[in-house]
Chain A
Amino acid sequence: MNLTIFLLALFDGISYAALIFIVALGLTLIFGVMRILNVAHGSLYAIGAYATASLTAWFLALGFAPILAFPLMIVSAVLVGVLLGGPIEWLLLRRIYNKPEVLQLLVTFAVFMILEDVQRLVWGTQPYFQASALQALGNVTVFGVTYTVYQLILLPVVALVLLLGLRIFLRHTIIGKLILATTEDREAAQSIGIDADKVFLFTFIVGAILAGLGGALASPTTSILPGMGANMIVLSFAVIATAGLGQIEGAAVAALMIGLGRSYAVYLWPEVAVLVPYLIMVLVLLMRPEGLFGSPGTRKI
């Protein structure tokens, strides 16, 4: 493998990692704060993609410029977070925080099943493709290979901004500190007057917005079709389990490992490319059960 190929695979790996990181970020945030592994996260991702494609197509048909696709991505993501994430937490999850883990997981699994069919009822079964955002940014050529600016530059930049932004938000704003306090000790937080219900609702909506944003950002690069959420959810599970559940920076490293692993596999041994995320996850968990960056939790006695 020469240097050129090494770099080419690096670019592909980074852009792929950026996308799965954005989705995994919402999942790990929700788990970190609420201790709930949200299986429906994949559906929110898919709906974010569908919503973006539909809104963009609609506005383009009205004669707006393709560049409008970018604000529409944010609009779609917020819509997903507020219209779906909010009610899911408020109507369902709130009722099961004191129930066993397995029931919490199954509630989100049930939501996943429902949303999979809702998607099909709303958007049908034909694949959607809406690439105007990607075309608006054009291409760059590196070592004779053409990349889209969208994938090579925009996606990694967005991922980096989200990573830093979330970190600053959690550590340096009042709401962020309230969230961290609730995460640390819910009862103590409530005793000093923090409304834990509101914190949970807010966190879940933010997590859902990130899922929707992941879908929105993926939408110009791929066909949007039924089943895309089910694939994404296992991949982002692999990312956050490798990183350590609830680890935000760790998720970035794990996403990079999985993204790069996959793109190098395409050059070296294409047949194992699909295996890479799960192999990395198992190897890491076998050596460090709490994930790369997780701290060993205290065992319940």
Chain B
Amino acid sequence: MSLRETWTEMSASPGLSPRTILTALAVLALVAVPLLAPQLQLLINLALAKGLAVLGVTVILRAGQVSFGHALFFGISAYAGAFLVTAMPGADLVLVLLAGALGAALSGVLVGLFVVRYRGIFFGMLNLAFSMIFWSILEKFYHYTGGADGIRLTRPSVLGQQLGRSEFELVLFYLALALVVGCGWFTLRWLASPAGQLFQTLKTNETRLEYLGLSPRRVLLSGYVLSAVLCGLGGSLMGMTQGVVTPEYVWWVRSAEMVFIAVLGGAGSVRGAFIGALIYEMVRIYASAFAADIWQLLLGVFLLIIILFAPGGIMGIFDRLIGRHRDGGTRA
């Protein structure tokens, strides 16, 4: 494996490295978006939601596995929220988020129990199969799921208060930002923790785990559930921002898109997941606005350029710029 992840965050020194300072500045800039650039607020909100899901895919990438079906958890969580709001009109935002996370965690455990037995392409395909089954169910059981048109996720209340659209969107934006910071921080800590270190050993040397007397499957399952919950949180946020959830949330192209963004940002990088999502969303929205006929083509070319000329992704370029590139960091 020559996937470059030379600059894994866990080894970053705890002091005020350029990276920490830049991260803090980036978060501050995001905090100011609704005040300074309100026209970007929605776009960034969507990108942050997507970034959370990409973070889930990134976690799995750290174990050397690629899932082509993680949109499953994205969708399950969004639908869980939509069903909840339909059954309990005016349910609280926190409740919607919890229901989504819970749905994603449960389905993550169930699907995870099966898929952790597989590696490589089989792992990817089996994930794909599960997501496509769920997709067909959503399309087929029209009377419950609304079929291809999906169901509305009407605006939940916020701590008991019913807000108008603009206030609600502001709440959602800061909630997304808080979740991004919180989940990003947690994921970094988790990856640096003993459990996370073991998890990443799956990529480098799985047999070593067995020699340690540990079950690789259980180790993979823990990371898998974490990744499912992250995807789920992203899906809930996306559903609430859109106000509607459709089977397209689970369609295989969306799963592939998440992997695409993860690689774009810098495969395996936590910060890269969000930077990748922001850039992807910008390119996509502006491409579909100003070159409506060829936005897919532009994205495809963009992806090819990144893979062929900057396989470390945006974080790789960034690291080279600030001179943190270390040789010999590639792993076999």
- Asked whether any CB of A lies within 8 Å of a CB of B in the complex, the reply is yes
Q: What residues on A are CB-neighbors of B295 within 8 Å?
A: 117
- Whether the pair A117, B129 counts as a contact (CB closer than 8 A) is no
Cβ of A274 < 8 Å from any Cβ of B? yes
Instruction: Give Cα distance in the complex from A100 to B331, angstroms.
Output: 11
B126 at the interface (CB under 8 A from A): yes
Chain B residues within 8 Å of A230, by CB = 253
Closest A residue to B303 by beta carbon equals A110
Residues of B near A272 (CB, < 8 A) are 140
Given A117-B297, A274-B136, A301-B205, answer yes or no on A289-B118 (Cβ-Cβ < 8 Å).
yes
Q: Which single residue of chain A is at the shortest CB-CB distance from B298?
A: A117
Q: Is the CB of A121 within 8 A of B294?
A: yes
| B311 and A289 form a contact (CB under 8 A) | no
Distance in angstroms from A204 CB to nearest chain B CB is 17
Residue of B nearest to A235 (CB): B132
**Which of B256, B294, B307, B311 has the most CB atoms of chain A within a 10 A radius of its CB?**
B307
Chain A residues with CB under 8 Å of B296's CB are 113-114, 116-117
On whether the beta carbons of A121 and B66 are closer than 8 Å, the reply is no
Q: Count the A residues whose beta carbon is within 8 Å of the partner chain — how many?
A: 45
Query: What sequence of 0s and 1s flags, for each residue 190-226 of chain B, a beta carbon within 8 Å of any chain A beta carbon?
Result: 0000000000000001110000000000000000000
B186 contacts the other chain (CB 8 A): no
Contact segment of A6-14, A160-168, A249-257, A276-284: A276-284
Chain B residues whose CB sits within 8 angstroms of the CB of A99 once the complex forms: 2, 307, 311
Q: Write the nearest CB–CB distance from A103 to chain B, whole angstroms.
A: 5
Give B59 Cβ to nearest chain A Cβ, in Å: 14
Q: With an 8 A cutoff between CB atoms, is A39 at the interface?
A: yes
A55 contacts the other chain (CB 8 A): no
Residue numbers in B under 8 Å from A245 (CB-CB): 121
Q: Is the CB of A102 within 8 A of B61?
A: yes
CA–CA, A237 to B121, complex, Å?
11
Inter-chain contact B66/A105, CB cutoff 8 Å: yes
Report A178 CB to chain B, min CB distance, Å. 25
Q: Do A118 and B121 touch (CB < 8 A)?
A: no
Q: How distant is the Cα of A39 from the Cα of B3 in the complex, in angstroms?
A: 21
The complex places the Cα of A236 from the Cα of B46 at a distance, in Å, of 32
Interface contacts (Cβ under 8 Å), in number, total 125
Interface set, chain B 87-143, CB cutoff 8 A to A: 114, 117-122, 124-126, 128-130, 132-133, 136-137, 139-140
* Chain A positions within 8 Å of B172 at CB level: none
- Is the CB–CB distance between B130 and A282 below 8 Å? yes
Other-chain contact of A275, B61, B136, B259, B304 (Cβ < 8 Å): B136
Are A281 and B2 interface neighbours, CB within 8 A? no
Instruction: State which of A98, A106, A271 has its C-beta within 8 Å of the C-beta of B263.
Output: A106
Assuming the contacts A102-B66, A109-B303, A301-B205, asked whether A275 and B1 have C-beta atoms less than 8 A apart, the reply is no
Q: Which residue of B lies closest to A240 (CB)?
A: B125
**Known contacts A114-B296, A230-B253: A275-B140 contact under CB 8 Å:** yes
B126 touches A282 (CB 8 A): yes
Contact B128 A101 (CB under 8 A): no
Which B residues lie within 8 Å of A192 (CB)?
Answer: none
Let me know if A188 is at the binding interface, CB within 8 A: no
- Contact status of A285 and B129, CB under 8 A, knowing A96-B307, A274-B136: yes
Interface of B is mostly: helix
Task: Output the residue of B114, B129, B267 with the most chain A CB within 10 A.
Answer: B129
Within 8 A of A (CB), among B255-309: 256, 259-260, 263, 267, 293-297, 299-301, 303-304, 307-308
The answer to whether A290 and B122 have CB atoms under 8 Å apart is yes
CA distance A214 to B2 in the complex (A): 36
Residue from B133, B256, B307 within 8 A of A39 (CB atoms): B256
Q: Distance (Å) between the CB of A127 and the closest chain B CB?
A: 18
* Residue in A39, A100, A105 whose beta carbon sits within 8 Å of that of B1 in the complex: A100
Residues of B with C-beta under 8 A to A74: none
**Alpha-carbon distance A299/B123, docked complex (angstroms):** 13
Pairwise interchain contact B207-A301, C-beta atoms closer than 8 A: yes
B256: chain A residues within 8 A (beta carbon): 39, 106, 109
Given A116-B296, A275-B133, A278-B132, check contact A95 B308 (CB 8 Å).
yes
Q: Given the complex of chains A and B, what is the CA–CA distance between A294 and B204 in angstroms? A: 25
Residue contact B139 to A114, C-beta cutoff 8 Å: no
Q: Tell me the complex Cα distance, A134–B293, Å.
A: 33
A111 close to B (CB within 8 Å): yes
Query: Given A99-B311, A274-B136, list of 18 further CB < 8 A pairs?
Result: A39-B256, A103-B263, A103-B307, A105-B66, A105-B68, A106-B259, A110-B304, A114-B297, A118-B297, A234-B128, A237-B125, A241-B129, A272-B140, A274-B140, A275-B133, A275-B137, A281-B129, A285-B122
Q: Write 14 A-B pairs (CB below 8 A) sorted by A numbering.
A: A102-B263, A103-B311, A106-B259, A107-B303, A110-B260, A113-B299, A113-B300, A113-B303, A117-B293, A275-B133, A275-B136, A279-B133, A289-B122, A290-B122
Q: Which residues of B contact A (CB under 8 A)?
A: 1-3, 61, 66, 68, 114, 117-122, 124-126, 128-130, 132-133, 136-137, 139-140, 205-207, 252-253, 256, 259-260, 263, 267, 293-297, 299-301, 303-304, 307-308, 311
The 5 closest A-B pairs by CB, nearest first: A113-B300, A117-B297, A114-B300, A110-B303, A110-B300
